[in-house]
């Protein structure tokens, strides 16, 4: 047993897991509000990270201005995607909508590669000190920042849905669109807002990852990891998505520990979430907290 | 999906056989036969580059046909099709290298093996709606690719696996000219097979599931059986196409069979028309020819102002990807029935010309 290594990986897993949780949360937000399975979630992270990187590294904007600018941009970007691409698809079969988001992810991915190149870029330094010591463990400052930001976003999201008027309107729409509409809620603007919030939250996650690891197209991989997380938690449960994300993050790192200590297979780390995904789909398809579909004709 | 405008006045069908016939008139059948004969002559006329493009269209159209059974006829999506294609390629290469089985039999065998693996990943499909199946196939794509990079005995690891050239009764076929006929035979066979499948009870069951799965179930269609069946069939055709590709390229490597390729297969059937058999062929041709035409465009623009401003030539690969993604979106938004629908409209127009109203 290599305890120090294990603890290091567990901390790592918790940090990455909360980030997965945040991204999965914004994925579930879109699914719940608009019934769209968004295959371009990872690309939203990527757009946010690259835009912030461009502002900071190319135009020398300080972080505390560049970050809000990015978020405003992403808010607009989310609305634009919904209005231009997904609004015309309302009423189309669900598989067409899924394929539109797949197309969207291809376009965004390639456009970003075209604009910013394929090489990973280091993010400008945001924090002065590299690491702090906590309970005898050396933990990098960026990790703590990442954890704090993730938890803050989760709390913010919970507040938004439980207390704010707009969040309540969104939940009402998710519950029943026609009833919500008859109560005077503009379903159109709720849909646009769902995308805007999701894009913004994803961008925050993207920037956090970029601060830790630098920007590269590998960031879009977070969008793929969202599926195991969201399926595990239940596709339409925001809390489940967070928990699913944390479990997947921890599991990845435990897989890496088992792999490097005992199995020596290589990249079990990468692939373990997908095995979990298949198993969950086979034995508990609606996840831990998802609602069972009961349909009437 | 033939629109009412296509059926000429006075065309009454009095039997089911007449209604489900493939060729409604003798002329249309003669045209189809003539088309096949023209294709048989193609290798004598065209050579090199264009012939290889045609072979690629043929091979990919078989895989796309399999995907169309799943997406277009059963209403489920798979984004792991490229992995099954690759599995077929590796399996056929492995069988023909390590067992005393000629390539001629290795290809269908690879299809069967791929279908069996497809069924394993299709098991969740039995219980789930299309939405969840997409995610299961996503996992299949990653798990299979991971398996390929791990199983060196099977795939040769980082060195591409070699595949034997196609041979039939000891007579080896070499070169594009001869291989073209092999691909043509497989394309015709699989298109006839699928066309006929859709006229049978099983084919109608698949379409019923697509249109409304609950009603289909109430009518006594076994959802589990037919969803798994269509998943297996899709994998089968992907395997066959992969095997053909392996023996065409003579080497198999993982390169270029990631999730982008799966999206490319989806693009083929969306552009061609989901649920249209001939559309699959058109869509495949479109997707294969698109990068080529972009290549031509970039050569044409080379040195010009647009080229300099956007540095097109250095980024042609990204441009292709953007084009593929954009075309998927545009077709889904503005032409959801694909090229097949457009083709029908053109035919109707000429049939009624000049009195189209």
As a whole number of angstroms, the distance between CA B327 and CA B341 comes to: 16
Query: Who has greater pLDDT, A23 or B4?
Result: A23
pLDDT at A129 over 80: no
Q: What is the pLDDT of residues B66-82, one digit of tens each?
A: 999 998 898 888 888 99
H or E element in which residue B161 lies: strand B161-162
Average pLDDT estimate for A224-238:
85
Count Cβ–Cβ pairs < 8 Å, chain A vs chain B.
127
Q: Percent of chain B having pLDDT more than 90?
A: 24
Q: What is the pLDDT of residues A173-186, one digit of tens each?
A: 888 888 888 999 88
> B91 CB contacts (<8 Å, ≥6 apart)?
B109, B110, B113, B114, B239, B242, B243
Query: Who has greater pLDDT, B128 or A108?
Result: A108
User: Which of B15, B20, B17 has its CA nearest to residue B2?
Assistant: B20
Q: What is the pLDDT of residues B180-199, one digit of tens each?
A: 888 999 999 999 999 999 88
With an 8 Å Cβ cutoff, are B146 and A227 in contact? no
**Confidence bin at B157 (pLDDT 50/70/90):** low
pLDDT at A296 over 70: no
Q: Percent of chain B having pLDDT more than 70?
A: 89
As a whole number of angstroms, the distance between CA A51 and CA B82 comes to: 32
Q: Best mutation site among B314, B329, B335, B338 for testing chain A: the one with the most A CBs within 10 Å? A: B329
Average pLDDT estimate for B240-253:
89
Residue B308 pLDDT: 65
Which chain B residues have a beta carbon less than 8 Å from that of A87?
A: none
**Confidence bin at B129 (pLDDT 50/70/90):** low
Residue B4 pLDDT: 46
User: Which of B231, B239, B308 has its CA nearest to residue B62?
Assistant: B239
Average pLDDT estimate for B288-309:
77
Closest partner CB to A295 (pick from B135, B139, B214): B214
pLDDT at B311 over 70: no
Residue B131 pLDDT: 72
With an 8 Å Cβ cutoff, are A37 and B138 in contact? no
Residue A192 pLDDT: 92
Closest partner CB to A114 (pick from B260, B315, B328): B315
Residue B245 pLDDT: 92
Residue A100 pLDDT: 92
Residue B2 pLDDT: 42
Query: Who has greater pLDDT, A218 or B1?
Result: A218
Average pLDDT estimate for B21-26:
78
Q: What is the pLDDT of residues A50-61, one digit of tens each?
A: 999 999 888 888
As a whole number of angstroms, the distance between CA B83 and CA B89 comes to: 10
Helix (H, G, I), strand (E, B) or coil at A238: helix
> B227 CB contacts (<8 Å, ≥6 apart)?
B74, B76, B122, B125, B126, B209
As a whole number of angstroms, the distance between CA A143 and CA B324 comes to: 38
Chain A closest-CA separation from residue B341 CA (Å): 16
Which ipTM was obtained for this model? 0.84
Residue B3 pLDDT: 46
**Confidence bin at B285 (pLDDT 50/70/90):** very high
pLDDT at B300 over 70: yes
Pick the range with the lowest mean pLDDT from A16-30, A94-108, B125-139.
B125-139
Closest chain A residue to B128, measured at CA: A285
The first and second tokens of residue A230, run together, are 């969201």
Which chain A residues have a beta carbon less than 8 Å from that of B315?
A: 114
Closest partner CB to A85 (pick from B140, B260, B329): B329
Most confident option among A41-45, B3-7, B10-14, B132-136: A41-45
Which chain A residues have a beta carbon less than 8 Å from that of B329?
A: 85, 100, 103-104, 107
Which chain B residues have a beta carbon less than 8 Å from that of A293?
A: 129
Q: Best mutation site among B78, B119, B128, B146 for testing chain A: the one with the most A CBs within 10 Å? A: B146
Q: Best mutation site among A99, A244, A263 for testing chain B: the one with the most B CBs within 10 Å? A: A99
H or E element in which residue B252 lies: strand B251-252
The first and second tokens of residue B51, run together, are 């012939």
What is the average pLDDT score of chain B?
83
Chain B closest-CA separation from residue A240 CA (Å): 17
**B313: exposed, middle or buried (Cβ count in 10 Å: 0-12, 13-18, 19+):** middle
Which chain A residues have a beta carbon less than 8 Å from that of B79?
A: 102
Residue B115 pLDDT: 94
Closest chain A residue to B336, measured at CA: A96
Chain B closest-CA separation from residue A181 CA (Å): 25
With an 8 Å Cβ cutoff, are A100 and B332 in contact? yes
User: Which of A139, A118, A145, A141 has its CA nearest to residue A128?
Assistant: A141
């Amino acid at each position: 047993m290599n305890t120090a290594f294990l603890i290091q990986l567990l901390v790592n897993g918790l940090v990455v897991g909360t980030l997965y949780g945040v991204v999965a949360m914004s994925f579930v937000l879109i699914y719940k509000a608009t019934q769209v399975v968004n295959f371009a979630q990872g690309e939203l992270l990527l757009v946010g990270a690259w835009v912030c990187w461009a502002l900071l590294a190319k135009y020398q904007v300080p972080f505390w201005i560049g970050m809000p600018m990015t978020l405003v941009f992403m808010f607009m970007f989310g609305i634009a995607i919904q209005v231009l691409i997904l609004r015309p698809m309302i009423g189309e079969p669900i598989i067409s909508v899924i394929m539109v988001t797949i197309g969207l992810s291809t376009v965004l991915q390639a456009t970003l590669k075209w604009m910013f190149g394929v090489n990973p870029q280091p993010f400008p330094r945001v924090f002065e000190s590299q690491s702090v010591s906590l309970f005898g463990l050396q933990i990098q400052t960026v990790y703590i920042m990442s954890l704090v930001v993730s938890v803050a976003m989760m709390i913010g999201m919970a507040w938004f849905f439980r207390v704010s008027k707009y969040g309540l309107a969104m939940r009402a729409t998710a519950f029943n669109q026609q009833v919500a509409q008859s109560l005077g809620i503009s379903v159109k603007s709720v849909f646009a807002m769902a995308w805007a919030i999701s894009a913004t939250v994803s961008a925050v996650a993207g920037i956090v990852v970029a601060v830790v690891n630098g920007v590269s197209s590998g960031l879009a991989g977070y969008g793929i990891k969202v599926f195991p997380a969201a399926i595990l938690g239940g596709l339409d449960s925001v809390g489940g998505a967070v928990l699913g994300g944390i479990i997947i993050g921890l599991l990845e790192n435990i897989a890496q520990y088992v792999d490097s200590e005992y199995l020596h297979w290589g990249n079990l780390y990468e692939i373990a979430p997908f095995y979990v995904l298949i198993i969950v789909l086979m034995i508990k398809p609606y996840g831990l907290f998802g609602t069972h579909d009961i349909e009437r004709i | 999906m033939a629109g009412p405008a296509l059926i000429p006045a006075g065309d009454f069908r009095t039997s089911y056989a007449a209604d489900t016939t493939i060729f409604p008139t003798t002329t249309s059948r003669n045209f189809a036969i003539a088309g096949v004969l023209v294709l048989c002559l193609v290798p004598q006329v065209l050579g090199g580059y264009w012939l290889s493009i045609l072979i690629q269209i043929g091979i990919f159209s078989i895989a796309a046909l399999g995907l169309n059974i799943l997406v277009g006829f059963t209403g489920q999506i798979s984004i792991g099709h490229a992995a099954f294609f690759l599995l077929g390629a590796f399996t056929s290469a492995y069988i023909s290298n390590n067992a005393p089985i000629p390539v001629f039999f290795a290809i269908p065998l690879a299809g069967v093996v791929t279908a069996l693996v497809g069924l394993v990943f299709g098991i969740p499909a039995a219980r789930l709606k299309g939405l969840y199946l997409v995610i299961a196939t996503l996992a299949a794509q990653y798990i299979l690719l991971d398996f390929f990079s791990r199983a060196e005995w099977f795939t040769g690891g980082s060195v591409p696996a070699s595949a034997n050239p196609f041979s039939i009764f000891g007579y080896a076929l070499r070169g594009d000219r001869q291989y073209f006929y092999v691909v043509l035979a497989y394309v015709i066979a699989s298109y006839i097979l699928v066309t006929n499948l859709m006229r049978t009870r099983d084919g109608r069951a698949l379409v019923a599931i697509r249109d409304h799965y609950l009603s289909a179930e109430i009518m006594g269609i076994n959802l589990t059986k037919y969803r798994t069946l269509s998943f297996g069939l899709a994998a089968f055709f992907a395997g066959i196409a992969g095997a053909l590709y392996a023996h065409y390229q003579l080497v198999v490597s993982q390169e270029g069979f990631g999730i982008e390729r799966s999206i490319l297969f989806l693009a083929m059937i969306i552009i061609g028309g989901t649920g249209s058999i001939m559309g699959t062929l058109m869509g495949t041709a479109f997707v294969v020819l698109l990068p080529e035409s972009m290549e031509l465009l970039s050569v044409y623009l080379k040195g010009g102002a647009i080229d300099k401003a956007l540095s097109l030539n250095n980024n042609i690969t990204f441009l292709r990807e953007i084009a593929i993604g954009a075309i998927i979106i545009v077709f889904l938004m503005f032409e959801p029935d694909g090229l097949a629908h457009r083709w029908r409209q053109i035919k109707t127009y000429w049939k009624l010309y000049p009195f189209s109203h």
